[in-house]
Each structure stands twice: as C-alpha cells, then as structure tokens.
Structure 1
C-alpha cells in the first residue's frame, strides 16, 4: 500500500513537470547492496539528474537525505556507511534559469554474493580520490558546522586509516573554514562563505594508517562556491551628459554603466535599465543603458538641466531581482533657435542737420539664447533709408543694444524726416526653428540750423587743354546760401592747389590759369588735377567745394631714346643687333607709333629693321671689330615732330647676355689676377702689415741709456762673435770706445746718452742717432749717385751731399769725431771702388785677437796716427777689409 502511494506521488510529480516543461523526468531506480560503505557510488551521471532533453541545464543538486550526496555531474554517492533494505529520497535540481526540478531516487537491495564478488564497488570507491569539485552555497544559514562531502580512500579496505586536510580554508586564509572528521573522512564547513570574496577553495586530503604512514597519494580537493543573488547592481562611471537642444530624435546622449558582483553571465548579473521620469524627453536601452533623445523639441530656454532617475535591477528586471536607483544629469547646450526681438514696434530719434559721426539713438533687443555667446550677440543693419551711406550701426558689447550713428551730415532743407528700417540678427544662423530675423521702423527727425553756403554741384568737373596761356578763364564755381538760395555776399578763396596753377576771383568765383598747366607733371594723376575752393558768406559761415580739372593733351614732348649706351655682342662673322626703344610723354595721337630713321651722318655700317610702335632693331650692316661706335638716329612721333639723337654702341666680346642685352667681358689689355696673383697680393699685404708693426715697436721701445767708459788704457782686440753684425763685445779702444758726450768747462766727462729719434734732411741719414755722442746706429749716406747703408757710425751732427764738416774745437772729443768722419767715408769708398789702392803693410802692435783670422793681421788700423792728420786713411791696405766687414754692413742701391 505504501509503495502504491509513492508511485502515485511520482506520477503526479511527473505530470507536474511535464506541464511545466516539455522534457520528461523519470525517477532514478537503482539496486544496491544491503550494506553500503561511505563513498559508495549509487548512480553515475543519470539522464534524469542532468535534465537530458530539457531546454535548461542543471546548476546545483540538493539531496533530501543527508546520507547521500550528489556531485555536480549528477553522480549519487553515500556520505557514510549504512545498512538498508529499501531507500527512497529525492534530489532537487536547480537549473540555470532559476527553476527547480525534483527527481525521486528509489533504492532496492540485491544479493550480497554478487555484490561481494563484484569488483565494481571497489573500483568506484577508488575513483573517490579523483572526485569532481564539491559545491558550497554562499551565505548559507546556520547552524554550523555542516557536513559537506565524504572523502574516502580504497586503502581503508586493507587498513585502519584516518584522514587529514591542509591548504586554503584549512591551514591558510581563511583558516578553519573547513574541518575534517579524521576517522570517517566527512568534510564539514564551519561558517557561511561569500563567493564574491572567495569564488572557490583548493586544498588537499591525505590518508594515513595507524602508524602514521601515508597509504595513498594525496587528494586535491576543489570546493566551488555557488552564487546567490546577494548583491544589488551598482552604478559606475560618470552620470553627467550634454546634448544640444533641438537635436533630432534618437541622438546619442551617453551610456549609463552599472556592474554586479554576483556570478557573471547569470541572471544574477543581468541588469535591466529603466527610466523613472522624463520619459517624454529621453529613452534608455534596457540592456545596454544607452541614453538617447526621444524628441526633437528639447528646449534649453525652458529647462537647461534635466535630472533623470534611473533604476538598475538584476535578474533581467524580474520582480525578485535586486536593484539600485540613481540620478543622471543631462545638460542641454544652446543653439541659436531664438532671434533677437525688439522691445518697441516703432523707434523715434532726432538729430541736427550737418552733424557728422554722432550717436543718434540706442535700440535695445532681447534674445533668449545663452548670454555672451554668438547665439545671443546681435548685429544691426540699416536695411532701408541708407542708400546714400549716411548711417552706421554698431553693437554695444555690454548691453547688446544697437547704436545708430550719422556719419554724413543730413540736410533739413532736403529731407526733414528720414524713414529708416533696422534689422537685427545674430552672429550665427538660426538653427532648429522656423523663425526669421526681425526688423523695426525708425523715424529720424532732422533739426534745422543756419548753414553756410553750399556749392552746387559739390564737385565741379572742367576740361582744360594743357599749356593754355596764363590768365585764361577755365570756368566759374559759385555757391548758394541754402536759406536764401542766393550767391549775394559770398566770397571765394582757394584752399588747395598743389602746383599753384589756378587763381580764384574772390567776388565772382571765376577760375583762371596762373601758371602753365602741364599734363605730364607728377601732380597730375590720370590726367586729373584737383583743387578745393572755400566759400564764405557774410556771417562768416564756410562752404567747401572741389574742382577736378580734366587736362587734355598737347603735343609738347618729342620722343627720346632714354638709353643711349648700348652693347652689341661680337659673334665673329655673324651680324649682331640691338633693340633701340624710345618714349614720349605725350599720349596718342601725339606719340606712338614712332618713325625711326638713320641720321644724315650715317656711315653706312648700320641699318634699321623690325620697327614697332616704340622700338626698332639696330643691326650691323658689316662686321665690325670691337670698339665704341656712334650712330645717329632720327625719331619722330605720329605728328612728325622729333629730332636726331646719337646712340653709343659698344661692340665687344660678351661674357653673357641677359634679357637680350649683352654684358661685355674683361678687356684683353687688362690683366686678370689668378689664384697665385691673389695669394701674392695677400702675402705682400701681410708682410707690409708686419713691417709697420715692427717699425711701431722699434719707435715705441724705450731705449736704455748707454754708458761709455773713457778708459783708453786698455788695448783693443777683436773677439769671436757668432752674430753677423758687429757684436756687442767689440771693444777696440781706438774705434769703438768714445768719451762721454757731456763737456763741462772744456773737460771730458763720461756719462749716459739718451737715444732720440731725429729725421735727417741733407745726406739722407737714418731715423736714429745719438745726440751728444757717438753710438751704433743704422743710417743711410749719399755719395755721388749711389746709396750705401752702413751701421756702427759715430756721429753727433748730420752731414750730407758728400760735404765734410770738421769740428771747430780742438778737444779730444772733436778729434775722435773728426776721425770718425774720415773712417765713414773711407769705408763707403772701399765698398764701391775696386781694390786697387792699398797702404803698405806696417808692423803694428795688436791686442790678442783670439783665433786666427783668414785675412791675417788687420794691419795699420790698430793704431791711429796723429790726431790732426788724416793721411793714414789713404794708405789703408787689404787688411782693412775684414775690419770693415765687421763694423759695417754695406748694401748698394740705385737712386
């Protein structure tokens, strides 16, 4: 009876499931042994538990009997050992759509013998070391701890074992979440878990015998935390957007972003977006959160910011889904959808006549667009009544008002009231509206005032032929009083006349020529010459007028050839030519076309061809050598007025031609410097510069005073010197040592002599000598027609022109100086004449000369004779030459 009742329940359940889903779920029927050990495999992946044939797939399994567990693949195993005869329980299958399915499990006993003889149970138990991941529902309710799964090793058949676990959730964070009953292998959880914190846990299980020996390999265990919809969706990202007003419906505004911490790609995280207000203005995509404009009538002027409330709900918006609400701010940006409008339908203003550049009135406008933007700023224009350009409109940048200005004076007598139309527009065109720019009428009254005389017309045009005689009346220019329309009492004066060509008769306004009117004058532009006239009435009011004189041309200029120096390139036997152009300041018919002819003095070597209105080609009639030629050419204008002009033509070898004109090369007689010549010039310039610097250095160098000892007791001797010029160590007592130049009371005194720079006159001596005594000095002497440069001369005074001066006094100093004069002349003489006159070689006493000289003894020059006798100079022999070479450097130059 009980079995029948269960069967009826099963049938009812099946009918319910069939009504709910088209798939067919049947109960799980299995035969098992009476004694079931822990971990016994009841069924493996049954079709009923995997919902085969149904549209949905299972997610979790829950057993109604705690003695049995269901793995994630639908496998039913025992949690602990038990003895049964029959066993019935159910498994609740939760699918991915959130629906729950119930499957009944009916177990019946079978014979023990086949069960014991079968190895299937052992094989299945052995597979428990490789179980599928365990499942654990997050946020499970107490009490804790709760049994989770049973783990077992097939080694328990042969050994008395115990189990241990370690790893995440056991010995590492979160520590103590899982515990294990060592003897049975039951895995238990001690508290609720949060999938968003730890979506899964991985640890290992080990099995040991009583001796603590590990009898099987360790078992990796993965516990997957099943998701519960315990997190409501949240907004992420910005929620402030902008869109133009008057935008088209469907315009993208922005995207609202949200997230959910629950398991991705499930209903727990499938969010639906819903607008809670402003649904007439905006719309949102329920699955993506994209905001768009729903209408094309968004108006910033009505509401510039819209606060839109949005709900986000998971479970795809199902009522049992979790939700959040937030606000999105949508700012409407401005477009020019409002034209400026006038506050009045008619504006009136008043202005005095003849006033210029004055503000007449202000015209205010209103604009609903955003202030201080191009959509708001107004531009004003006088669209009617300003045909003569008397008005100007501007905009006040602060108030946006229109400012009406009069730029040309108005005339009350002509128009007492002026009707204007003012149009206002923005800086940018109108957008998204059918409105147009608006206009308003303006009535401007002109005030009357006493005015000065007015010229009529304001500008007088006169035609005058140039070169008319002075005093010729060319016209009359009168002014009228605008009040009386009369010219009585008005006087006329000239204001501007650049060339002083016109005079104005004061009482009549007649215009007469005062100087020659020249159309070709630089004061004339486009044949026009302007003067201004001032009219003054009896009340001293002034009127101004302008006279434009149109000057007619007269044939007062002849054609001329401006460029009379021409160049023809010599091309050997080929006849060359050059273009000759003429100009005439007059206008046709008094100028072009010109008539070109060769002059009467033409030598027949030239001819003219290819005539144009203002030019002709001058060509060689015969081949000519290079040179300068003169060609007479007669040029006349169209009226036959002209003159003969001479053209200078240079025939040369051209180095190039530019625009048909030749450029002569360097003449053959000239010398062109090559690179070596230029280098020589540069080096010469540098040497000259160095010479100048040397002279400056010599002249500016401070000379030390030279002290000369008057000790004549030492014997003179020549010392070996490596210098080419006389050495500083030459100390011949007779020739080289001179008493001091200071004489006091007729006696000699030794002392220093100052070197001075003196420019010699006669005798052309050098620029330096010692005044007051003798010292070495490089000089130049003139003897006859030849020059000699000497050095080591003793001198105090200058002599020249081969004239000898003897000192008048008889002191020893004078005697030494006189001997020095003779020696100088003799040395210079020996340097020029042949060696035909020598003195006898006399035996003399000399000082030690050191090493022997190639010339032998210097002979008679070692000692001097009498102080007053100069005869010894005529008897100097060949031994004097070496001494002369030592003391002098001789160079012969021509005059």
Structure 2
C-alpha cells in the first residue's frame, strides 16, 4: 500500500513538472476605448492571469502601472479616468509556491479612424509613433534575418517618407544586430542574441521626407530580449561542512548555495536541490539547500568524512530543467563516545613484600576516539583494594598504558594475595546514554621475605604522672617476629630519649623511669614525650617502634612573679597603680586562679584591687614621693600553694609609656652637676692647657744639672748612704720612690692627713708644698712631658708645675703599675751616660741594705731611713719581688 501511494505521488509530481514545462506566458493584447473612465474593467486578461496551463494557482497580483489595479479574481480595473492611444504595462502574478510570473499587458485604442482623421487635420501637437516596446527571443534559431515589428510615423500620411535607425544594436555594439527597411519601416534581427549579455536594446528611429527633412520627432524604440532556459545552475560558496558525531537528528550542518544566470524570479532560475546518496544519514531542503542530520547515530569511528552528491535542477526540478551535480564533504568531529577498553579480562602481577615506590605492571587499553585528544587519553584509578593507600596509578603519555605502582610496602603475612579493580576513564566525560567506564580485575601476588621484628602496635601510648619515682615500671613494649609470631630471643634497645628519662630492660622490653619526668620541661610538647625503641631478633634483623608518654600534671610549681622590678608612673597628687602578673607552669586546677595578698610586713602604703585569674593591680594607698620601694606580695595557686615574694617598685615621673609599661625619665640627680661642676670642668681644661705649655717650655729649655741635697731640711728623717758597692740584682744606679705612709707598719698612720695649713715655696723646677698638721709631705716632679708622683715616708717634695692636691684617705697600697712607669722613666732619665747630663752626680749605686736581710737586697728600691724602720720590708708581701724585677729589667733595657 505504501509503495502504491509513493508511486502515485511521484506520478503526480511528474505531471505537474511537465505541465510547468509546457507553461509559456505570452503578452496579453486588449483593445479598449480611447477614453477610459475610473473603474473600467479590462476583463480580456482574466484568463491569462489565471496561469492557465502552468499547473500553478495564483494567489496575488501586482500592477506595474499605478493607473491600473488587479482584483483578486484577476480582473484589471482602471484606478481613475484616463485617455490612451496605446498603453503597455505588466502584471506580476505570485503563485502558491512563492514563484513570481510576469504577464505583459498591451492596451490599444479601438477608434483608429478618428485617430487617423485627427492626425490628418494636424490637430495634435505631439505626434506618437507605433509600435510600443516589443520583444525577441534569445538564442533564436536560423534562418536570419527575422522580421520583428513594423514601425511607422503619422507623417507618412502627408509625406513620402523613409526611416532610419541608430544606437545600440545598430550603430553601436553589437553593431548590425538590427536592420530596418527604410521604405516600409520593417525592423528585423540579423542573428541570435544572448539575454544574459544583452537583456534589452534601446535605440531611436527617425523619419525623413524625400528632401531629407525630418517630418516627425524621433521615436525611442525598446527591444526586450525574452529569456530562454539556456543556463545550467551552478554551485557557489563552500561545500565543506563539519558536524559532531552523534549529534541530534535535525541538527543543521550547513547550506548549499547555487545560482542560475537566467532571468531571476522565473522558472528558469527556480532551483531544486536533491541528494543523490547518503540519504539515510542526511537530508536537504529542496528549495533552500540546507543540509541537516537525519539520524543521531553518525559515527566518526566508522566514517570520519562523508561525501554526498547533490543535484541542482532549474525549472523547479522539472524533468526538462537543466541541472548540474556537485560533491559536498561533511567531516564528522570526534566526541568521547568510546571508553577505554582493556585487552585482557584479568591481569596478574607479582611484587615482593616491603617494597615501596616500585612499578608493578603495565595495563594497556584501546580507545577508538581521536588519538592524542582528551577523548583518547586515559586516566586510571584503583577503585577497589586500595583502602590503605598502598597503590598509585599513572598514565604513560606515549603509549596510553596504565602504570601500577606500590607506594607502601605490602605484608605477605597479612595479605599474600591482593585483589584490585582497575578502572580506566578519559579526561572528558562520556557522550551517549549507553556508554560507561570499564573496569578490569587484577590479582597481585606478594612475595615472602625474612623480615625484622615488628612492634604491635606501631605506636604505644602510656600515661605517667610527672615526678614519679625513679625505677618505676611504666609499661612494656614488645615486638613479634612476623614469621614465628612470637618474641623469643628478642632484644630491646633505646634509640632516642632526649631527656634520658626512660630505661629499657633488654630482655623483657619493660620501660622504667631513669630520671625525674617533668611535664614543664621544654622537651615535652603538649604534655607528650616521645622515645623510640629498637628490637633485634636472633638473626640480627631490627624493627623500630615509638612510645608516646602522656605526662599527667602534679602540683609541683608555685606561682611566680617573673618581673619583680616594676615601674609606677607618678601622677602628682593622684594615686598611681601598676599591674602585677604571675605565672605557674602547672595546669589547672594546680595553677590559676591565683590568690594575691600583701605580705604580713607591708607598711600599709599599698593595696590590691581588680584581681583576675593571673594578675592583680597594685595601687598606692597613700601618695608617696618618687623613689624605690619594696613591697611583699604573697601569691598562691588554687590549691593554696605559694610563697611571699618581694617586688621592687620604682615610683618615678614617666617619660613615656610603651605597651602599658612606664619608662622613667632622667633622674634629677643627673643634673646635680650644676654651675660648680661646669666651673670645675672649665678649670680642669685650663690647667691641662697650662700643663701642656709648661712641658713645651721645659723641653725647649737647656737643662742644668739637678742638685739634690742630702739634707732636705726634714730634721734628719732622711739618712745618707755612701755605700758604693752594687746590689745583688741592680747593676746600675736606680732610684725608686715608695708610696706614702701606707707602706709602713701599722704603728704609723694609715693614710695621709689632710692638711689644713699649707704653704708653698717657689723653686727652680717647680714649687715645694709643706703640709702642716702631719708628718708626711707629698712631692710631685715633672720629667719631660709626663707628671710623676713619689711618696716619701717622712718628707715629700713637689717639683714641676705647681699643683695643690688633696690626698685624703689615699690607699696605702697604691697601684704598683703607676710606680713602675715612674721608675722606668726616672731611671732612664738619670741613667743616661751622655756627657753633660746635669744629674749624673746624683745617681748612686747601692750595695746592700744590711747583712742578714730576709728580703735580700732591694737595690734601687732601697729607702734611706733609720735602721729600726727597715723592718717594714718584711711585710711588703709578694708584690715586692715583681717590683724589683721591674727595676732590674728597666735598668738593663735602658728604657
């Protein structure tokens, strides 16, 4: 039944196309009165406008002349009254298929006799020729020339005339196409014409009498070239398209475009598109050329490029229409409609236990999608059997194989055979309802090895109170042989123990305290202390375990005030305060909140307020001046343990406050220097300047010999010595001035007495000062550019620039270093053997200070005095020997 209906439809279509092929519209010639009133119906053209014989039904009419309109039934009606001689216009007929058909309408006047008589009477001022524009068929067949139309002028009634034509097709290109019989006005064509080259010709005709005078106005002549279906449709534009595989049915792929050089909007250019193959995959709109997918099963993997042949035929696809064929290439782009597939149904591999980061096996896959695209690249995952994280999967970028790695060692004793499931995916999701990712099982055999001991558990947690007694057993940590499943013959050793708090019993694995466990130690982190233990079996294989000791707190610390030097900023008459904070290294309930109390011995000038968990505010109870105060404060923890602590509180005028802490300003004592201090500094500078000038004067003045009298006028207190023999240790003359009264025995005064009455006498080399009220004098001598001080037992003289010194409470044991420097310079000065040295006669060599002296010879350090006073040498102490060495060495070196 279906085949019959299809055959009938095809037969009907064929008949329609044949009818369309036989359809040929010719101009409609209608004679009408000269004067046409408005609404005049020209009914002669109704049949022609109905497209009779064209197998098409008109649906709309359009007049090209605004003086006429066309009803829906095809009648032509005048719009308003008009007078015509001839009239030519066209009616555009649109059929139900959207095609446009043109029908030429030619109106001519019926009253030709009256028209002719009027012409004879020459009542017309404007002469009109005939005929109106006419047509010729393109590519007409011979013979030629062929007559087209006769033209004539109204002046031919009164004159013997002849005609001439000129213009396009006559005297212009194409020259000679049209010829005219000059006597009767018959126009002929000499050869065939191509409408696509010359769709219309426009030239003029003139009329002349026998004298050659133009008897009428020239006549423009228009010759239209009627189209024939002589051009085959042609493809234009690209014929290459792309579409994704598995796209929806009805997806637009592209549009094929074609053109025809024949007259537009005629059946000659009415092109129909027809697929010649691949009709099960694609379809094409017969009149627009739009190609769409006919199915949703387009498969790139089966055929990535489809070449379809398309026929384009004019005349709406009629059998007598001209046609051409071309190839359209449709490329199918890839989508991820194929998952990676495994080549085997089961994979097997083997690995030794305890191996880590090793490649176990390669798993090849196949993927039909486009190579080296995200649709093809595989991603592998262990979807079953990797709960402990022992495995890792990677992809070989070149081969797209799956690489299975063991990243954590396997245990043969626990799992000799590991069953895994490997799933392969792509980088992008799958397309299609029937596609899904595929998986494959993999059996991994674990090889056995002789392993070392294993602690169980790997990390042992123990709780211990701090300060537990040494030797206390806090737990036992044993290891097992994985093969034997026992601990026979196992030895245990400690690997790490930062505080050396724990000992391990070698044979049993018992853990005992070796030192005091202190929770507050810096070795403890978050109340936990770690040690590591090593177990060694009989085959010398080892295993390692960790013990984490969680230390429980006890109340072994009392609150302490870390900063006991506090600054309290004075605020004038207002009472000042300072925050006091305490810390306790214990944890609650052995620490905060603290209890703060003033000590029992506090003086009542302080009070406490605003107590918090770990701090209290110390405030003045009464105003007090700036100064340093000691405040006793008792701090106890929550359990009542604590002690009294003394804080030093400095009350001062604060210069600034940094982070809540006061910074004292400069003390007032620092300004006590005042005007007297400044005056003293100025005087010291002046004295120093005078001393420098004096030294320059001495160095630039010729020195005379210095005479030192044996008798200094001290009443016999200095003794003469004429012993010429050198001492035991001194080879040359030397002189040492022993410091003042402090070097004598205790019977003498321990310090120099401050003189109340002092006189001075001018000398050549300085001034001598005599002290009254005491038995000791001081002498200062200047040699070169330095000043030296020497102390005598009974009499001291000053030589050099005058200086008054107050030597009160001077230590008896003055620095020997100062004396050494003095002796060095003095010995050098007096020991110079150069001629003319003015003090040579005063340098003496001494032999010895008496027989039987327990200290031996003092050489240059001897002192002239009474015999009974030499006993003090026995009490000089061990420093005397270095002094003698200094004198001796100085003499030998000559410095």
Q: TM-score, normalised by structure 2?
A: 0.57
Q: What is the aligned partner in structure 1 of residue 483 from structure 2?
A: 483
Q: What is the aligned partner in structure 1 of residue 408 from structure 2?
A: 408
Distance 1:626 1:221 in 2: 132
How far 1:431 moved relative to its partner? 1.9
Distance 1:182 1:581 in 2: 137
Kept in 2, the 8 Å contact 1:602–1:632? The answer is no
Q: What is the aligned partner in structure 1 of residue 337 from structure 2?
A: 337
550 and 410 in structure 1: CA distance in 2 versus 1, 3 angstrom threshold: same
Q: What is the aligned partner in structure 2 of residue 387 from structure 1?
A: 387
How far 1:625 moved relative to its partner? 10
How far 1:184 moved relative to its partner? 5.7
Kept in 2, the 8 Å contact 1:784–1:801? The answer is no
Distance 1:122 1:802 in 2: 163
How far 1:432 moved relative to its partner? 0.8
How far 1:635 moved relative to its partner? 4.5
Q: What is the aligned partner in structure 1 of residue 425 from structure 2?
A: 425
Kept in 1, the 8 Å contact 2:565–2:647? The answer is no
Kept in 2, the 8 Å contact 1:633–1:647? The answer is no
Q: Does 1:608 align with 2:609?
A: yes
551 and 218 in structure 1: CA distance in 2 versus 1, 3 angstrom threshold: farther
Q: Does 1:268 align with 2:264?
A: no
- Deviation string, structure 1 residues 470-518 (Cα, Å, up to 9, x no partner): 5544333222222333433333333334444444344443334455444
Distance 2:627 2:120 in 1: 135
- Deviation string, structure 1 residues 526-552 (Cα, Å, up to 9, x no partner): 322323222222322222222222222
Q: What is the aligned partner in structure 1 of residue 327 from structure 2?
A: 327
Identify which range, 237-246 or 195-204, moves more after superposition: 195-204
Structure 2 SS opposite 1:118 = helix
Q: Does 1:254 align with 2:250?
A: no
- Deviation string, structure 1 residues 86-122 (Cα, Å, up to 9, x no partner): xxxxxxx9999799999999999x997x565334997
Distance 1:631 1:77 in 2: 138
- Deviation string, structure 1 residues 377-403 (Cα, Å, up to 9, x no partner): 333333333333223333333333333
Paired residue total: 623
597 and 292 in structure 1: CA distance in 2 versus 1, 3 angstrom threshold: farther
Kept in 2, the 8 Å contact 1:502–1:514? The answer is yes
Kept in 2, the 8 Å contact 1:570–1:654? The answer is no
Structure 2 SS opposite 1:546 = strand
Structure 2: runs of 5+ lacking an equivalent: 1-18, 35-39, 52-57, 65-77, 79-83, 669-687, 703-895
385 and 805 in structure 1: CA distance in 2 versus 1, 3 angstrom threshold: closer
How far 1:309 moved relative to its partner? 1.7
Select which of 48, 54, 65 maps to 2:50. Answer: 54
Distance 1:386 1:545 in 2: 25
Distance 1:607 1:237 in 2: 100
- Higher relative contact order, chain-length normalized (CA < 8 Å, sep 6+): 2
Distance 1:663 1:134 in 2: 121
Structure 2 SS opposite 1:539 = coil
Q: What is the aligned partner in structure 1 of residue 240 from structure 2?
A: 240
Kept in 2, the 8 Å contact 1:631–1:649? The answer is no
- Deviation string, structure 1 residues 757-779 (Cα, Å, up to 9, x no partner): xxxxxxxxxxxxxxxxxxxxxxx
> How do 1:682-831 and structure 2 match up within 5 A?
none
650 and 358 in structure 1: CA distance in 2 versus 1, 3 angstrom threshold: farther
Identify which range, 541-550 or 570-579, moves more after superposition: 570-579
Kept in 1, the 8 Å contact 2:519–2:552? The answer is yes
Q: Does 1:555 align with 2:555?
A: yes
Structure 1: runs of 5+ lacking an equivalent: 1-16, 33-43, 61-72, 79-92, 670-781, 788-797, 807-895
Distance 2:695 2:593 in 1: 84
Structure 1 SS opposite 2:529 = strand
Identify which range, 312-321 or 516-525, moves more after superposition: 516-525
> How do 1:628-643 and structure 2 match up within 5 A?
635-642=635-642
- Deviation string, structure 1 residues 673-716 (Cα, Å, up to 9, x no partner): xxxxxxxxxxxxxxxxxxxxxxxxxxxxxxxxxxxxxxxxxxxx
Q: Does 1:351 align with 2:357?
A: no
224 and 479 in structure 1: CA distance in 2 versus 1, 3 angstrom threshold: same
52 and 449 in structure 1: CA distance in 2 versus 1, 3 angstrom threshold: closer
Q: What is the aligned partner in structure 2 of residue 890 from structure 1?
A: none
Distance 1:378 1:191 in 2: 75
135 and 630 in structure 1: CA distance in 2 versus 1, 3 angstrom threshold: farther
- Deviation string, structure 1 residues 636-671 (Cα, Å, up to 9, x no partner): 43233445474868898999999xx599999999xx
Q: What is the aligned partner in structure 2 of residue 396 from structure 1?
A: 396
How far 1:45 moved relative to its partner? 12
Distance 2:389 2:305 in 1: 46
146 and 554 in structure 1: CA distance in 2 versus 1, 3 angstrom threshold: farther
493 and 257 in structure 1: CA distance in 2 versus 1, 3 angstrom threshold: farther
Distance 2:568 2:222 in 1: 111
511 and 30 in structure 1: CA distance in 2 versus 1, 3 angstrom threshold: closer
Structure 1 SS opposite 2:332 = strand
Kept in 2, the 8 Å contact 1:653–1:665? The answer is yes
Kept in 1, the 8 Å contact 2:85–2:108? The answer is no
Kept in 2, the 8 Å contact 1:166–1:203? The answer is yes
How far 1:191 moved relative to its partner? 4.0
Kept in 2, the 8 Å contact 1:368–1:376? The answer is yes
Distance 1:440 1:355 in 2: 24
Q: Does 1:304 align with 2:300?
A: no
Distance 1:310 1:411 in 2: 70
Structure 1 SS opposite 2:288 = coil
Structure 2 SS opposite 1:48 = helix
How far 1:629 moved relative to its partner? 9.1
Q: TM-score, normalised by structure 1?
A: 0.57
Q: Does 1:364 align with 2:358?
A: no
Kept in 2, the 8 Å contact 1:464–1:551? The answer is yes
> How do 1:93-492 and structure 2 match up within 5 A?
116-119=116-119, 126=126, 128=128, 134-149=134-149, 168-169=168-169, 173-174=173-174, 177-178=177-178, 188-202=188-202, 221-492=221-492
Distance 2:394 2:283 in 1: 45
Kept in 1, the 8 Å contact 2:604–2:621? The answer is no
How far 1:406 moved relative to its partner? 2.4
State the Cα RMSD in Å. 5.4
453 and 519 in structure 1: CA distance in 2 versus 1, 3 angstrom threshold: same
556 and 201 in structure 1: CA distance in 2 versus 1, 3 angstrom threshold: farther
Distance 1:506 1:589 in 2: 39
Structure 1 SS opposite 2:308 = strand
- Deviation string, structure 1 residues 535-581 (Cα, Å, up to 9, x no partner): 22232222222222222223344445668899999999998987765
Distance 2:628 2:211 in 1: 138
Kept in 2, the 8 Å contact 1:606–1:622? The answer is no
Structure 2 SS opposite 1:344 = coil
Kept in 2, the 8 Å contact 1:452–1:541? The answer is yes
Structure 2 SS opposite 1:306 = strand
How far 1:340 moved relative to its partner? 2.6
Q: Does 1:595 align with 2:621?
A: no
How far 1:239 moved relative to its partner? 2.0
How far 1:434 moved relative to its partner? 2.1
Distance 1:352 1:316 in 2: 80
